[in-house]
Structure 1
Amino acid sequence: MAAMGTLDELGAWERHHNVMSWYIRVLFLLPFCYFAYKRSLFSIVLTLVALATSMFWFPAPARPDPKAIEFLAMEREYLAGEWTTTKILLGLLVPGSLVALAVVFWKRSVVYGLVLINDIVLVKLAWSFYFGDMLGGLTLLPSQLVGFVILNAAVLYVLHRRNKRSSSRPAPRASMRAHRHPDARRHQPLPWPLPRRCGLREGVLAAGRCVRCGSDSPGVRVRAEPLAAAFGGGRPTTGAIRGGLRHVHEP
């Protein structure tokens, strides 16, 4: 009741009868989500302050819409009435949904953010139809639909741009010599100075290049070593490849 009296003293409630404030309030979700995506906490707080004061921005209409008068009278009666547990839980949905929306966009989950935006708009519409009857819901419906379309179009455009940007990036260049043998995927280079065993046995070296994996990295020497040394210096077990040699790439 005290809050409602303060709004009356400031003339905010009469200004709230201007339906332009209804349209702009739902559109505040757009900069709110943008600043959360950019991880700007100061801008998020500034957006919330603008949202809370938006009913002061427009003058009181000379001839208020009778439907708007009836809907706002219902809303005022709802806010000034007794706050039961159910009403408190419903009231907590407002800050809770804004926090969830900020967290989702802060983590760059745009798809989940779009789902949450639509849920917020639909819950607001459901509330207006339930507590304001059919007339109250229809009064709020145009502003919510306009916000619904603009918000979805903006978020879908961002998704389209992001997907297009990611698809236009060049793919990582594969090894130019990976096609020299069918097991090229096994022979990806390890971080130097760790040796890399290409698995070649009794092969032939040509001009410092391994004929199996085709490695010719600058500063890399290719040498043949016994099979036992290739497996850590231990003696080869019975049944090892007779006379086997492996080539080890090392800096």
Structure 2
Amino acid sequence: MFKKYDKSFAILFALASVGFLIAFGVNRNFLEWAFARHHNQLSWFIRPIFIIPFCFFAFKRSLAGISCTLFCIFTSMFWFPEPSSVNADVQEFLQYEVGYLTSDWGMVKILVTLIIPLSLTLLALAFWQRNIWFGFSVMTFIAFGKIGWSLIFAGNSGKSIILPATIGLAGSMLFVYLGILRIKNRNNSDNRLSR
């Protein structure tokens, strides 16, 4: 049943994601509301975890699953309540991110930002093609790219992203690997039973 409607659900979640991004770009109140909740570092730790279902759905070749996971990544920044107190580095880093998003968009900034959808596309393609080690290489590039961008552009406050990014990378790689092993073992068992 889900395979029958896979493309329809993929389009639905893609449109929802585009709507979210447009609202984020044109409504400053919405952006500030979302970033106030993004100060809660639970949202920092949960975002890398979405790499696990993203890779799983790519491995299972489900466009709807990939699209739904991306929607969750985008919206998870405001799933948690605004914290009562905020670390100074977190505050400074998020102020920089808001400034980055709301300042003028030149060609260099557009090209740097396009690395995000390009790397996610490569990650999906790697697992879609069942190339696990290439997928892990892309995952590592994404995590260290985020850390590098944060340190280069946000300075000392960028260090606040190191722990969530590295824990997220290690956890994602472990669970993706274990999940793929389980899928392969189940497929091998099914093949033996069908003989």
TM bin (shorter chain) = 0.7 to 0.9
Q: Percent of aligned pairs with the same residue?
A: 37
Q: 1:46 aligns with which of 65, 68, 74?
A: 68
Choose between structure 1 and 2 for higher RCO, CA contacts under 8 A separated by at least 6 residues. Answer: 2
What whole-Å deviation, never above 9, does each CA across 1:88-108 have from its counterpart, x for those lacking one? 011111111111111111111
Q: Size of the alignment, in residue pairs?
A: 167
Aligned: 1:6 with 2:27: no
Please identify the structure whose Cα radius of gyration is greater: 1
**Residue number in structure 2 paired with 1:145:** 166
**Residue number in structure 2 paired with 1:72:** 94
**Residue number in structure 2 paired with 1:126:** 148
Which AA in structure 2 matches 1:153? L
User: How far apart are the structure 1 equivalents of 2:116 and 2:179?
Assistant: 25
**Residue number in structure 1 paired with 2:49:** 27
- In the alignment, structure 1 segments of 5+ residues that lack a partner are 171-251
* C-alpha contact 1:125 1:137 (8 A) present in aligned 2: yes
What whole-Å deviation, never above 9, does each CA across 1:102-138 have from its counterpart, x for those lacking one? 11111111111111111111101100010011x2231
* C-alpha contact 2:150 2:161 (8 A) present in aligned 1: yes
DSSP 3-state at the match of 1:64: coil
DSSP 3-state at the match of 1:26: helix
Q: How far off its partner does 1:160 sit?
A: 5.4
* C-alpha contact 1:114 1:155 (8 A) present in aligned 2: no
- In the alignment, structure 2 segments of 5+ residues that lack a partner are 1-24
160 and 2 in structure 1: CA distance in 2 versus 1, 3 angstrom threshold: closer
* C-alpha contact 1:17 1:64 (8 A) present in aligned 2: yes
Deviates more, 1:50-59 or 1:151-160: 151-160
User: How far apart are the structure 1 equivalents of 2:77 and 2:188?
Assistant: 43
TM-score normalized with structure 1 length: 0.61
Q: How far off its partner does 1:28 sit?
A: 0.9
What whole-Å deviation, never above 9, does each CA across 1:135-155 have from its counterpart, x for those lacking one? 223111110111011022123
Root-mean-square deviation (CA, aligned residues, Å) is 2.3
TM-score normalized with structure 2 length: 0.77
Q: How far off its partner does 1:74 sit?
A: 1.0
**Which is richer in strand?**
1
* C-alpha contact 2:49 2:172 (8 A) present in aligned 1: yes
What whole-Å deviation, never above 9, does each CA across 1:159-202 have from its counterpart, x for those lacking one? 655787899999xxxxxxxxxxxxxxxxxxxxxxxxxxxxxxxx
**Which is richer in helix?**
2
User: How far apart are the structure 2 equivalents of 1:115 and 1:142?
Assistant: 19
